Amino acid sequence: MYDRKVIYDILDEAMLCHLAIAIDGEPFVLPTIHTRLGDKLYLHGSNQNRLYKKIADGATAWLSITILEGLVLARSGLHHSMNYRSVVLFAKGEKVEDREEKRHVLEALVEQNVPGRWEDSRQPTEQELNATTVTAFPIDDASAKVRNCPPIETNADRELPIWAGVVPIKLCAQEPITETAGLDVPIPAYVCDYEKLPKVSLS
Amino acid sequence: MYDRKVIYDILDEAMLCHLAIAIDGEPFVLPTIHTRLGDKLYLHGSNQNRLYKKIADGATAWLSITILEGLVLARSGLHHSMNYRSVVLFAKGEKVEDREEKRHVLEALVEQNVPGRWEDSRQPTEQELNATTVTAFPIDDASAKVRNCPPIETNADRELPIWAGVVPIKLCAQEPITETAGLDVPIPAYVCDYEKLPKVSLS
């Protein structure tokens, strides 16, 4: 699927992205976080990171973003599957040099996962900004793949007296763990009432 | 970290793996499922899949497996992070030709995510086995990276009156959705009492 709405929804919901590039003909892959602003996907990293240096030098990147949504249990062993939504993006990255764009991306990287957090945080210093590389990838050559259905089986298999169906799965948040030792700072509402993920209590 | 126990625990718990290879100097990455048997990691796919053909021809693969475990909220915007456990494995793959090993891997791929399911399932035919490629990757050149701690901040930042802490996150299962239309087959215990993931009810 090449629908921008489908692709952008996946990019905006996902908390994790895998970045792959080839160096001297060998593949490298790195898990990282991402954010989308308009028609660009942004990553950040240390100035020392080898992958971002290679991307700045012109290496093409493959980005893969996958959200698992269900275990699909077919009657036949080989037809078991997963429900998921995923995007792959093939792009050359460009180092963001503009100060304001860089600040804006760093804000969005935090807001992507914890909406409301950036304003409360201590803002980056010039020195911190200089030590961080932000890279922009145009979202032009991207596609989405979505599987969101029951098991797909032959008619013969559908007659077998075996249970079949889907176990939906999703990321959930648990109760926050406060680190603020000795300081009387209440848990902010955007953490208490964290809405990006459903809440689960584990005994 | 190079401890086999740490690496194997991550491989055994994770439900998703990203496979990257380079083809003609360009990177390709694919989300897939995996299973570990002994000191090998196994993937499967259609005989038609271009990546597995290239791997059979000698292309090196990078496999990246990441389990997200928490959102780490630091007082400083730039020190926000994630808790996670991840493995990268760099290996040349080998096509599994042995019939019994192939069957055993396909069983383990289902059991990895739904323990108890394979025995209930319709077993693969010779034709299905022939249409599936199973690839083995020796776990020799692998490393794990684990972040599992509160935010790491400067002493000056720790004095700021801003809440800091961790929101633990994990994959959860929801109530199973039965597909068996018209057949009176009860939901098996390994689905009802699915133990691999905590259960969450969403309203």
Q: Return the pLDDT at B194.
A: 83
Sign (positive or negative) of CA dihedral B172, A201, B153, B143: negative
Nearest to A21 among B27, B176, B200 (CB): B27
Contact A120 B162 (CB under 8 A): yes
Say how far apart CA A197 and CA A15 lie, in whole Å: 11
Cβ atoms of A170 and A69 within 8 Å: the answer is yes
Contact A78 B176 (CB under 8 A): no
Q: Return the pLDDT at B83.
A: 97
Six-digit token string for B17: 């793996």
What is the Cα A61 distance to its own chain's centre? 16
SS3 B17: strand
Q: Please check whether residue B193 lies inside any domain of the structure.
A: no
Q: Please check whether residue B180 lies inside any domain of the structure.
A: no
Contact A27 B62 (CB under 8 A): yes
Tell me which chain A residues have a C-beta less than 8 angstroms from the C-beta of B88.
29
Contact B165 A187 (CB under 8 A): yes
Contact B71 A177 (CB under 8 A): no
Contact A77 B123 (CB under 8 A): yes
Contact B185 A168 (CB under 8 A): no
Structural domain that includes position B19: 4-151
Q: Please check whether residue B183 lies inside any domain of the structure.
A: no
CATH at A123: 2.30.110.10
Nearest CA in chain B to A185: B163
Q: Return the pLDDT at B182.
A: 61
Tell me the nearest-neighbour CA distance from B12 into chain A, angstroms: 16
Q: Return the pLDDT at B183.
A: 74
Walking along chain B (203 residues) 10 residues at a time, the average pLDDT comes out as 94 94 84 95 90 90 95 95 96 94 96 94 94 95 95 93 94 90 83 84 67
Tell me the nearest-neighbour CA distance from B168 into chain A, angstroms: 5
DSSP string across chain A? ---HHHHHHHHHH-S-EEEEEEETTEEEEEEE--EEETTEEEEEEETT-HHHHHHHTT-EEEEEEEEEEEEEE-SBGGG-EEEEEEEEEEEE-EE---HHHHHHHHHHHHHHHSTT-GGGSBPPPHHHHHTEEEEEEESSEEEEEEE-SS----HHHHTSS---EEEEEEEEE---EE--TT---PPPHHHHT--SS-B----
Tell me which chain A residues have a C-beta less than 8 angstroms from the C-beta of B164.
178-180
Tell me the nearest-neighbour CA distance from B135 into chain A, angstroms: 16
Q: Please check whether residue B32 lies inside any domain of the structure.
A: yes
Closest CA to A96 of A132, A57, A141: A132
Q: Please check whether residue B161 lies inside any domain of the structure.
A: no
Q: What is the pLDDT of residues A146-169, one digit of tens each?
A: 999 999 999 999 999 999 999 999
Model ipTM value: 0.92
Q: Please check whether residue B188 lies inside any domain of the structure.
A: no
CB pairs below 8 Å between A and B: how many? Answer: 263
Q: Please check whether residue B11 lies inside any domain of the structure.
A: yes
Nearest to B191 among A15, A73, A175 (CB): A73
Q: Return the pLDDT at A111.
A: 94
Contact B172 A172 (CB under 8 A): yes
Q: Is A108 on the interface with B (CB under 8 A)?
A: no
Cβ atoms of A65 and A145 within 8 Å: the answer is no
Cβ atoms of A30 and B27 within 8 Å: the answer is no
CA dihedral A1, B27, B7, A77 (to 10 degrees): 40
Tell me which chain A residues have a C-beta less than 8 angstroms from the C-beta of B128.
76, 78
Say how far apart CA B40 and CA B138 lie, in whole Å: 5
Using alpha carbons, list the distances in angstroms from residue B147 to A172, B66, B150, B166, B197: 19, 11, 9, 12, 21
Q: Please check whether residue A98 lies inside any domain of the structure.
A: yes
Nearest to B179 among A61, A166, A187 (CB): A166
Tell me the nearest-neighbour CA distance from A146 into chain B, angstroms: 12
Cβ atoms of A154 and A162 within 8 Å: the answer is no
Count up the domains in chain B and report the number. Answer: 1
Contact B82 A33 (CB under 8 A): yes
* Interface subset of B 124-183, CB within 8 angstroms of A: 124, 128, 132, 150-151, 157, 160-180, 183
Strands B40-46 and B132-138, how do they pair?
antiparallel
Closest CA to A76 of B17, B51, B132, B16: B132
- Residues of chain A falling short of pLDDT 50: none
